[in-house]
Structure 1
Amino acid sequence: MENTYYRRIFNGCLFLVPALLLCTKNFSIGAILILLLTATWYLIKEKRNYTLDKIDWMVIIILSAYFIANIPIYLSDMETTRYFKGASRYLFIIPIYFFIRHIVTETTTPRKYLDWGIVVGAVGTIVIAIYQFYVKGMPRVDGYLYSINFGYLSCSLAFLALTLANSSHIKKILWLSFLLCCFATILTLTRGAIFAIPILIIFSVIFQSKQNKCKNIFKTILIMLVFFWGMYAYSAQFKERINFTVTEFHRILSGDVADAESSGGRIQLWYAATQSFIKSPLIGQTYAQREETIRQLYQEGKISDWPISVKRAHAHNQYFEMLASNGVLGIFAIIALIFTPLCFFLKHISKSTHALTGFVFVLGFSIFCLTEVPLEQNLISSFYGFVLAVLINFTRNDLDNIQDSET
């Protein structure tokens, strides 16, 4: 009876996190907080002697590496706790992971709550997007977030829907949810999220199609080309964004990096981040030191004056940001946070639908990290950690199911 009570709380939060993700202001974090308090209470009350296996240790490393990597640079600075802004969220997911681990068995995986949560989240997302873009006339949809973060989360929600569809009892509704979230993503005009869509679709098709892979990939590419051509032809904002991108890349290839307002600025920040790493390779530089590095590079004529205006020398790239602020420790942290779960899911992708979902989900964020620092943002870091905890547990249950059937 008591275990059923805990399951109901988990089922409710599993529904609410994706359902409230983009159509409310951080309400999904509230659902995660409720689950955290419940998990903490459960683990303290039960006081069982848990035996940690390899997957448990892997999850602990994944969710704690970013926080640990920030400790040295914080001790060097001691002026702001911002270094732990996103990193602390992953630590809070650890008890949630173990809570899910012990109350959800292979026979009670609550997939229907996750599936319907994604559907409701997709509807809420597209309502917000259409209202802001077509009714209010906003140039870029941002919901209750910055447009870039809205784009990343909308895209990730889309591919949760797509990759879970084939094993769901509401397959067609999830496919529709995928399309709605993709359209919402495009309305944000977030290039990092829009360019990720065709890449993630191709990987989804490759791993989901057991037969006629080349044929299915060709069809998928053809459909995407027609779709993007239609958007380019009939959406003035989308056309302007694409033309702006083409112009920027042309200037970069011509050597006029400083004249490429957005992409060129990012490249200069990435260059500055590498210089910060060279100056302090072990633990990275503090925000003040990184800003000083940028000023020195400007005085030496190596970059334009635009990067000087960027607060905390924000690199607009997760990899370069961690390289500059965390040094070698940042490299280990990004391997733990991105590439370790990516390899875990890839290893089991032929045996588990949830492993496929996890692989595409993490792959999406590995692409998002090229143009921003999403894993530091409060809502994104909470959502990313929560979904990892859920999908790793669901994948484990799939593997246990297969093992039980073979014995």
Structure 2
Amino acid sequence: MSLIARFICLAWFFAGLTFAISVGMPGGYNIGGALIFLSSIGLIFIKPKWALLNKQDRLLFWTFFSFAISMFIAVAMDSMSIRELDKPSRFLVVLPVLVLLLNVTNRKEWLWYSVLFGAIFAFSMALHERVVLGDRRSGVGINEIMFGNTAMLLGLLSFAGAIYFYSQKRYAWMWLSIIGGFAGIGGSVLSGTRGGWVGLPFIGLFLFWQCRDLLGRKLLLSVFSVVILSLVTVVAVPQTGVQKRVNDAVSDITKYLDGSRRATSVGVRFDLWKSSVLIVKQAPIFGVGASQITPLRKELAADNLISKASSRFGHAHNEYFDALAKRGIVGLVFLLMVYLVPLKLFLNKLKEHKTDWRIRSYAIAGALIPMGYIDFSLTQGMLSHNIGVVMYAFPVVYFWAALRWAEREALEEEPMV
């Protein structure tokens, strides 16, 4: 086997590495993505079977491609710096990775091992910062919000892994995955990132609903009770900081509504969202462009329509409002497309495969990624950060390719008629 072929065969290991060190070490998320992209260059030296890409694969491919091109056009229209192309370019970089993983030797189970390791690693580092270093919020060298949301995502994916291992009666790995699930949520708690907590009950209900037939009523009720008890404990114990963060949010909202103080964490976000609605009225179809956002916010602050504290931000701290103000209705449509098309693809697979848990587990994990980002994007510009783009585009492709491999295996095992 040639050196190039050996490197290509490590593709699934590199995919797993993306999760394993994503937030446990600063910049870790870039390493796995960079290595798997380099291995995808090997497609030049082999003959990929393009026939392996079905209609759904192509839909995912063109969705990511279209979103990237829409962002490139927005940057060009706004005369922004070429460096603004860096983040959306990841949606193009991941496309050969999709083709590669649909062709390369299957090692898809490495994804399950990697997400639980990544979640536990992230929690360990966050705990070290809070307990040993005495930091108020954990971030492990990156933005605390991005760290917390990514840790939450790793935890949710670990729970999907637990479902997979339970269905395969591999109970040791199941328990490790459960630990990884709670570790990921724990990392989010230690980061103090409230935005990720909002959607947790809804995503949890999705998980329970999808695996109700696998677990059975009695076990499902037991698991549900343990989860509720764990969440109540986390909120009740002051040392976790959850109670304080929730109380602070309630206080901020009250102060904003009664007008006594607008320059709070929540108040600034409300003003940023309000300013986005006011700004987009000037150019509703294509938006005003990223370069105009800060000057326009300063004008709104001068007119006392928003607080001065809000006027210094170039992002709305909400992906949807930000897309609307900068790129108009067209930009918002492309953003929704990049979230909803992958979600729909994975949900369709859940409907298609009602009993095969080797396939359903990967579909559940895949659906959790856009579901998580839809939630996270309510209070943070996830795709405005390198880690946010990488930990969305690449994991969606990884789990989609894994799901497609699982379908092939199931088809091969069907008895001949």
Partner of 1:357: 365
Matched, 1:159 2:156: yes
In the comparison of the two structures, how many residue pairs are matched?
Answer: 399
**What is the aligned counterpart of 1:241 among 239, 242, 245?**
245
Matched, 1:30 2:31: yes
- Change in CA separation of 1:406 and 1:323 when aligned onto 2, cut-off 3 Å: farther
**What is the aligned counterpart of 1:174 among 159, 173, 177?**
177
Q: How big is the shift at 1:274? A: 2.0
Greater RCO (Cα-Cα under 8 Å, separation 6 or more): 1
- Offset from partner CA, 1:59-115 (integer Å, 9 cap, x none): 2223223322223332233242353232111111001110001114xxx3430x222
Q: Report if the CA contact (8 A) 1:129-1:143 is conserved.
A: yes
What is the TM-score of this pair, normalised by structure 1?
0.89
Q: Report if the CA contact (8 A) 1:257-1:264 is conserved.
A: no
Partner of 1:285: 288
Partner of 2:125: 128
**What is the aligned counterpart of 2:189 among 186, 192, 195?**
186
Q: How big is the shift at 1:373? A: 0.7
After TM superposition, list the pairs within 5 Å mapping 1:53-68 onto structure 2. Answer: 53-68=54-69
Q: Report if the CA contact (8 A) 2:350-2:363 is conserved.
A: yes
What is the distance in 1 between the residues matched to 2:273 and 2:289? 16
RMSD after superposition: 2.5
What is the distance in 2 between the residues matched to 1:256 and 1:157? 39
Partner of 2:374: 366
What is the TM-score of this pair, normalised by structure 2?
0.87
- Change in CA separation of 1:232 and 1:38 when aligned onto 2, cut-off 3 Å: closer
**Structure 2: which 5+ residue stretches go unaligned?**
354-359
What is the distance in 2 between the residues matched to 1:299 and 1:247? 26
**What is the aligned counterpart of 2:384 among 376, 379, 392?**
376
Q: How big is the shift at 1:262? A: 1.6
What is the distance in 1 between the residues matched to 2:406 and 2:84? 37
- Offset from partner CA, 1:265-302 (integer Å, 9 cap, x none): 11211121123322122322223322232233233332
**What is the aligned counterpart of 1:294 among 270, 274, 297?**
297
- Change in CA separation of 1:200 and 1:49 when aligned onto 2, cut-off 3 Å: closer
Partner of 2:93: 92
**Structure 1: which 5+ residue stretches go unaligned?**
none
What is the distance in 1 between the residues matched to 2:235 and 2:50? 56
Residue 191 of structure 2 aligns to which amino acid in structure 1? Answer: T
Report which stretch shifted further, 145-154 or 329-338. 329-338
Q: Report if the CA contact (8 A) 2:162-2:175 is conserved.
A: yes
Q: Report if the CA contact (8 A) 2:72-2:88 is conserved.
A: no
- Change in CA separation of 1:325 and 1:145 when aligned onto 2, cut-off 3 Å: same
Matched, 1:43 2:48: no
Q: How big is the shift at 1:138? A: 0.6
What is the distance in 1 between the residues matched to 2:149 and 2:130? 17
What is the distance in 2 between the residues matched to 1:109 and 1:303? 52
**What is the aligned counterpart of 1:396 among 395, 404, 408?**
404
What is the distance in 2 between the residues matched to 1:221 and 1:295? 48
What is the distance in 2 between the residues matched to 1:49 and 1:123? 37
- Of all paired residues, the percent bearing the same amino acid is 20
- Offset from partner CA, 1:151-206 (integer Å, 9 cap, x none): 01100000111012122341111111111121111111100122333322221111
What is the distance in 1 between the residues matched to 2:9 and 2:49? 24
Q: How big is the shift at 1:380? A: 2.3
What is the distance in 1 between the residues matched to 2:116 and 2:225? 27
- Offset from partner CA, 1:316-352 (integer Å, 9 cap, x none): 0111111112223312321221011111111111422
Q: How big is the shift at 1:250? A: 3.0
**What is the aligned counterpart of 1:115 among 102, 112, 115?**
112
